[in-house]
Amino acid sequence: MRWIVRGLIGLAGLIVLALVIVYAGSEWVMRKGHAVPEAQIAIPTDQASIAEGARMARIASCRDCHGPNGEGRILFEVPMLGRVAPPPLAQVAAGMTDAELVQAIRQGVHKDGSTLFIMPSHALAHLSDDDTGRIVAWIRTLKPQPSDSKATTSFGPLGRALVLAGMLPAQANSAKLSEAKRPADTGRYFVDVACAACHKLQVDAVMEDGSTKVPALAPMVAAYDPAKLKTLLRTGVGSKPDHGVMSEVARGSFAWFTDQEIEAIQAYLKGEAAKAPPQ
């Protein structure tokens, strides 16, 4: 009987030790500072720029994650994994300078340099200075509301283990991928900013949740009938009535593309599909 008790005590000790290691290691990953480029960009104040910032905040899926009006929301909550709750944008902006907001959007870091998680900074890093300035200008117009989400992001034991193992990667990046002005090749630009958050150009991929599969973007879009592609991006209805996450993103974000922007996206992806080696 004593051996059983000792064994259980030993096992409990190992579990506690493992939890301490996971907590301490993940906390180090989450608190670690990252050196990222500083960007002092102009923030416009005219109504046309603010309206375009509101549109770009939809196209870049800012409002998918932070709520249609920037009010914050819970993306998912699973006890052992944790809770991912992008905060209200007005609350965030109140404690940050314009430069810190730019770094959060494009470099995926908090104001103290620690990393953000579940932030598509690898795509948003492509946002031009003028479009980023417009988005910040729109954010600055938001005011805290009583209905704003009070939820905060937190990680459970399994979530922290994923952070420590690098399976829930830090989104901080030091790459300088942006241009001063929105490029003339808007097809490539919008693919980089909006589509690359989930898709790869030439190969199938899996989203960060580990279960949602996304097809290679170039061959899929190149093969689409142009009118049906516009319907898909505006309504989420394509070859089938419901494309899951794609349908949600289409209705919440891509419906704000103009016809010319969708045509430019398809033209760019047709060119990329033609570059792919034969299967």
CA distances (Å), 50 to each of 137, 139, 142, 182, 245, in order? 6, 9, 11, 16, 28
Dist CA 48 CA 69 (whole Å): 18
Burial 171-201 (b: 16+ CB within 10 A, else e): bbbeeeebeeebeeebbbbbbbbbbbbbbeb
pLDDT of residue 240: 78
Residues sharing a CB contact under 8 Å with residue 167, sequence separation 6 or more, in sequence order: 210
Quickly count: other Cβ atoms within 10 Å of residue 31's Cβ. Answer: 12
> In this predicted model, what pLDDT tens digit does every residue of 52-82 receive, in sequence order?
999 999 999 999 999 999 999 998 899 899 9
For residue 71, what is the enclosing H or E element?
none
pLDDT of residue 272: 92
pLDDT of residue 138: 98
> In this predicted model, what pLDDT tens digit does every residue of 116-141 receive, in sequence order?
988 889 899 999 999 999 999 999 99
pLDDT of residue 13: 65
> In this predicted model, what pLDDT tens digit does every residue of 33-59 receive, in sequence order?
888 888 789 999 999 999 999 999 999
pLDDT of residue 19: 74
Tell me the two tokens of residue 101: 């907001």
pLDDT of residue 177: 86
CA distances (Å), 95 to each of 47, 90, 100, 144, 215, in order? 24, 9, 9, 12, 39
Query: In this structure, which amino acid lies at residue 261?
Result: E
What residue ranges define each of the domains in the chain, with the CATH number in brackets?
47-165 (1.10.760), 186-275 (1.10.760)
Three-point CA angle 56, 60, 64, nearest 5°: 105
pLDDT of residue 49: 98
pLDDT of residue 77: 92
Tell me the two tokens of residue 246: 């794609």
pLDDT of residue 182: 96
Residue 86 is classified by DSSP as: P
Residue with tokens 């090749």: 185
Query: In this structure, which amino acid lies at residue 273?
Result: A
pLDDT of residue 200: 87
Three-point CA angle 132, 135, 139, nearest 5°: 135
Write out the DSSP string of 5-45: HHHHHHHHHHHHHHHHHHHHHHHHHHH-B------------
Helical spans, DSSP H, in 37-146: 47-59, 62-66, 89-94, 98-107, 121-124, 129-140
pLDDT of residue 40: 84
For residue 252, what is the enclosing H or E element?
helix 245-252
For the chain, residues with pLDDT lower than 50 are none
Answer yes or no: pTM beyond 0.75: yes
Residues sharing a CB contact under 8 Å with residue 3, sequence separation 6 or more, in sequence order: none
